[in-house]
Amino acid sequence: MKVLLTGGGSSHEREVSLRSTTAMEGALQDLGYTYQRVDLENELDVVDHWDDSYDMVLLGFHGVAGEDGLLQAVLEANQIPFSGAGVADSILAFSKDASKRQFMKHGVPTAEWELHFHDTDKELPETQLELPYVIKPDNEGSTIGLSVCEKPEDLIVARRVSGAFSKLIYERFVPGRELTVGVLGHEVFPIVEIFPGHALYDYESKYTKGMSRYICPADLDDALTKSIQNLAIKAMQSAGVQVYGRVDFRLDPQNQPWCLEINTLPGMTETSLLPMGAAANGLSFPQLIDHILKLSLKKYS
């Protein structure tokens, strides 16, 4: 198999994407695949680097333009095979409002929310939700633009952090434990529990080595583990997400899981959670990449 490995891009997550792409490049070398790596400023430039000698584009992008379905649509229009989720599933998963609607429709518990369209030059929209609640962009990843509002004064910071975005989700804050579940094809990985270095599992906590602590498998009883893993699969199916992804949850003090979102191009860095879950299931990082490539190719057979 000859692979076109692509990363970088134009989103806020460019640096993380480059780190993911470097890790995937190492995996391709270990696997003995023929490949070409390109680091791009514009995700859509992938098309200009493609030729018929390649079998697959391995996507290392994260965030807007790489993960929101636009790139997938352009690749599909040019009949270029690519890894991971397709067009419709990328669009649905990347919008928190759209994905939460799918969760509700398919019986996946998700916290109450409101969608607001926001003029970035004006005050934040008012909400019917009671404090505490979370404000976050509808279509960003890696907790970019996210604010936790526990008291009225927190809205001052939220205005600066979240107010830079024009399409906002207000979501009831769920106290409790931070969990995530990787899914690869029909296989669900052991649950990872996250103990963030900050009160919030923010960008720095995610991508600074040693900042956060993780346990995998999470310390949960068998019945609760199975229930959350089943919800992860159900969440993926609700948005039609193909090949692989990572589903994030909060587990409240009553042991009720609440689904937050699906990541269709989750991080592949040394601190990333999908490879951690895969490793706990006996899959090395190169084996994980190999499975992603082979499952992705099956979409086109």
pLDDT, one tens digit per residue, over 127-143 is: 999 999 999 999 987 57
Task: For the chain, list the strands marked E by DSSP.
Answer: 2-8, 34-40, 56-59, 113-117, 133-137, 147-149, 167-172, 177-184, 187-188, 192-195, 213-215, 244-251, 257-263
The token pair that represents 34 in the structure block: 């023929």
Asked if residue 229 lies in contact with residue 191, where contact means CB atoms within 8 angstroms, the answer is yes
| From the candidate CATH numbers 1.10.3470, 3.30.1490, 1.10.12, 3.40.630, the one assigned to the domain spanning 113-172 | 3.30.1490
The pLDDT, as a whole number, for residue 190 is 98
Closest CA to 189 of 141, 228, 239: 228
The pLDDT, as a whole number, for residue 194 is 95
Helix (H, G, I), strand (E, B) or coil at 156: helix
* Active-site annotation, residues: 13, 142, 207, 246, 248, 261, 263, 267
Classify domain 92-109+175-298 at the CATH superfamily level: ATP-grasp fold, B domain (3.30.470.20)
CA angle (293 as vertex; 187, 296 as ends), nearest 5: 75
The token pair that represents 100 in the structure block: 């939460």
Site of tokens 């906590």: 205
Asked if residue 148 lies in contact with residue 200, where contact means CB atoms within 8 angstroms, the answer is yes
Instruction: Say what the pTM is.
Output: 0.94
Distance CA 273, CA 301 (A): 30
- CATH code: domain 2-83 is 3.40.50.20
First-to-last C-alpha distance (Å) of the chain: 15
Where residue 198 falls among pLDDT bands split at 50, 70, 90? low
Domain map (residue ranges) of the chain: 2-83, 92-109+175-298, 113-172
Percent of the chain with pLDDT strictly greater than 70: 95
Q: Could you report the per-residue pLDDT of 109-118, keeping only the tens digit for each?
A: 999 999 999 9
Residues whose CB falls within 8 Å of the CB of residue 121, separated by 6 or more in sequence, listed in order? none
